[in-house]
Amino acid sequence: MPGIMRNALVPHPSFREARIRRSPRPRRRWSLAALALPWLLSCSAQSSRFYIVDHRLSGESRGYLETFDEGYYAVDPAGNVDIVLRRVVESGNAPAQPITQVIHLRTVWHSVPGRTIADETQINGTVHYFILTGRAGAAFEGAGSIFYTPHRRGKWITGSVDQASLLPTRRLAAGPDLFQRAEIHGRFRAVRDPRRAKTLIHEMNRRFGPRPLR
């Protein structure tokens, strides 16, 4: 089972470059791309993409590039935003047990242009990364810099995770220690779908249980 889960990760050959080159924050401005709405909505490039660099205790670093074809978000009464990205792929070794990856981003404040100053070193949200197949799974969690821009009155958002550090926190059954200390950054796109976002969050919390106190 650990080997099956590890095969879900896509190695990135130039991970050192990926670690250094942070994704720029989206700007509030009109562009030709924004006007080409029908084309953008049908373009596969709209999937979310993240670079992950795992720093092993041995001193070795491993890089991965992961894409997520589902993205949903919800806003709670306090104004906090939950963004949920999901990808499900078939396992070649166990077709009946697909491999699911879920990233849950939660922002605790959002910069307002002209009123607040934001940069990629500011921590403004939590990051939860779940990987599971069958009864096995592993969760990696931490905090980072999350920025986003709403489009069409909030119908969807685009944004980036400029800097986040994750550590292993929870494990199911024989879930492997895929990452030991990971850095993650990338870009995302999510549509407004509170029901779907909350369903996925509740599902992960139900499967993995409460986060351990440190």
pLDDT, tens digit, 9 for 90 and up, residues 79-138? 899 999 999 988 766 666 889 999 999 998 655 555 555 555 677 899 999 999 888 899
- Give residue 11's pLDDT: 67
Q: How many CA atoms lie within 13 A of 204 on its CB side?
A: 25
Question: pLDDT-derived band of residue 64, with 50, 70 and 90 as boundaries?
Answer: very high
State the DSSP code for 193: -
Type and span of the H or E element at 204: helix 194-208
pLDDT at residue 19, as a whole number: 40
State the virtual CA torsion across 196, 67, 50, 28 in degrees, nearest 10. -60
User: Taking the model in full, what pTM does it have?
Assistant: 0.77
Tell me the pLDDT band of 188, cut-offs 50, 70 and 90: very high
Q: What percent of the chain has pLDDT over 90?
A: 49
Interval 146-179: pLDDT, tens: 999 999 999 999 999 998 999 999 988 876 678 8
